């Protein structure tokens, strides 16, 4: 239920369908993936986001500080959520 896993991503450029596969394997399946892309919000490839939606996972992309706050808010609402965070 509550785990911390190493996500081998150094920057937003490393976020891909393959790097997000970790989040598709979680059990129970997450509803929402909150991605923190560092100091600022970075755009991800639309196909990558579409592939996650097709797997039933909504993706929220924010700067890392706001992603942490969003993750905590969703956890307090008892949502099934995960966060992928790139340090600022």
Give the CATH number, domain containing residue 56: 3.40.1230.10
- Sorted by sequence, the CB contacts under 8 Å of residue 9 that are 6+ apart come out as 15, 19, 84, 86
- C-alpha–C-alpha distance, residues 24 and 10, integer Å: 20
Please state the domain count of the chain: 1
Residue 7 lies in a domain: no
Tokens, residue 54:
């097709």
- For residue 4, is it within any domain? no
In this prediction the pTM is: 0.92
Q: Has residue 3 been placed in a domain?
A: no
Looking at residue 47, its pLDDT comes to 95
Tens-level pLDDT at each residue, the chain (88 residues) = 578 888 889 999 999 999 999 999 998 999 999 999 999 999 999 999 999 999 999 999 999 999 999 999 999 999 999 999 999 9
């Amino acid at each position: 239920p509550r785990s911390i896993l190493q996500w081998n991503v150094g920057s937003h450029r490393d976020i891909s369908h393959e790097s997000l596969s970790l989040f598709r394997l979680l059990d129970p399946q997450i509803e929402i993936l909150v991605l923190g892309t560092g100091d600022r919000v970075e755009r991800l490839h639309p196909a990558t986001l579409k592939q996650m939606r097709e797997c039933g996972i909504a993706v929220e992309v924010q700067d890392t500080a706001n992603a942490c706050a969003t993750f905590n808010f969703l956890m307090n609402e008892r949502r099934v959520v995960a966060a992928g965070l790139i340090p600022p």
